[in-house]
Amino acid sequence: MAQTAIIEAFGGPEQFKLVDRPVGEPGPGEVRISHRSCGLNFIDVYQRTGLYPLNLPHALGMEAAGVIEAVGEGVTHLKEGDRAAYAAAPPGAYCEARVMPAAQVCPLPEGVDFETGAAMMLKGLTVNYLFHRTTPLKRGDTVLFHAAAGGVGLIACQWARDEGITLIGTAGTDEKCQLALDNGATHCINYRTADFKAEVAKLTDGKGVDVVMDSVGKDTFEGSLDCLKPLGMMISFGNASGPVPPVNIGILGGKGSLKLTRPTLFTHIADHAACQQMAAELFAKVTSGAVKIHIDQRFALADVAEAHRTLEARKTTGSTVLTLG
């Protein structure tokens, strides 16, 4: 049996219930993993509220690290006793142990502890595809990155510094801006006290940025388009402030032949080999010291509702983990 946080109805954090569930044996292509730590992500909020619907009841959580207890037929990249971490569907990582598909579970390298593994997989793989796969960024390019002091954000700041990319961050307090700057953002705008569009224009001598990475959604989408150079790329990859309203694609022409994409991590890691390759690239960034994973909040599994309240209230920075045991 494994203690597991589930929801039986969509709604607020009060929907979480801790239950004991049987774990079972892995079938073909599956592993049983005993978790040591689970990561919290904003996608968990979208799933809890029903913005991204699930069949209920459902356990939540898409990121964790632990020890492989058993492997099913056909699994060759993991064995019993291996340390491992993952960002993977289906949701269900907020638990002590589970059986799950093995394809996206990655062996955790020496020197990366369980908490770090749990705090970095979903967020770090996201930064990897945003910087290397959605559009080929090159040294000297300028990116506007919203919510730069968050979980994905602090990894993006350091990734940009390591790859010679000028990252203009935004964040909701001056303290968060300072944190983004300390982690490699070239500039950071407090978008609750300043007009980020005007600030970006000043910082780029009116030219605009090559790429915007916008996970805030409703509140920033339109302003973000106005920060782009002609032919620039708008990457809308989240909705922390609410979903982006329907867009008339004609505006992309009027604003300078802009490109617009709405990517998801799970498309990029659906293929086993691609996922393992992307994880190896992420592990290299972390083990080389180029990227440090900030674990700024820790909660017990039993306090998962409080963890969600804190994340939604914009009171977190960096990554948040649920500790087990």
Q: Does 221 bind ligand NDP (CB under 6 A)?
A: no
Interacting span for ligand NDP (CB under 6 A) from 49-57, 66-74, 96-104, 306-314: 306-314
Binding to ligand NDP (CB under 6 A) within 161-180 occurs at: 171-172, 176
Closest CA to 266 of 68, 11, 63: 63
Minimal distance, residue 1 CB to ligand NDP, in Å: 29
For CA atoms 147, 150, 154, 160, give the dihedral sign. Answer: negative
For residues 38 and 100, what is the distance between their CA atoms, to the nearest angstrom?
15
Query: Looking at this protein, which amino acid is placed at residue 49?
Result: T
Interacting span for ligand NDP (CB under 6 A) from 28-36, 77-85, 212-220, 282-290: 212-220
Q: Does 131 bind ligand NDP (CB under 6 A)?
A: no
Q: Does 193 bind ligand NDP (CB under 6 A)?
A: no
- Which residue number, 117 or 238, has a Cβ lying nearer to ligand NDP? 238
Contacting residues for 120 by C-beta, under 8 A, at least 6 apart? 39, 85, 155, 282, 286, 293, 319
Q: What is the b/e burial string over 233-242, where b = at least 16 CB atoms within 10 angstroms of the residue's CB? A: bbbbbbbbbe
DSSP H helices, 216-315, are 221-225, 250-254, 265-268, 272-287, 304-312
Minimal distance, residue 253 CB to ligand NDP, in Å: 25
Q: Does 86 bind ligand NDP (CB under 6 A)?
A: no
> Which tokens sit at 7?
């929801």
- Which residue number, 147 or 321, has a Cβ lying nearer to ligand NDP? 147
For residues 229 and 260, what is the distance between their CA atoms, to the nearest angstrom?
13
Interacting span for ligand NDP (CB under 6 A) from 9-17, 24-32, 62-70, 236-244: 236-244
Interacting span for ligand NDP (CB under 6 A) from 9-17, 23-31, 143-151, 243-251: 143-151
Binding to ligand NDP (CB under 6 A) within 20-59 occurs at: 41-43
Interacting span for ligand NDP (CB under 6 A) from 65-73, 77-85, 107-115, 257-265: 257-265
Strand-pair partners of 234: 212, 260
Q: Is residue 33 within 8 Å of residue 67, measured between CB atoms?
A: yes
Which residues of the chain form contacts with ligand NDP (CB under 6 A)?
A: 41-43, 122-123, 126, 147, 149-153, 171-172, 176, 215-216, 219, 237-241, 263-265, 311-312, 314, 316
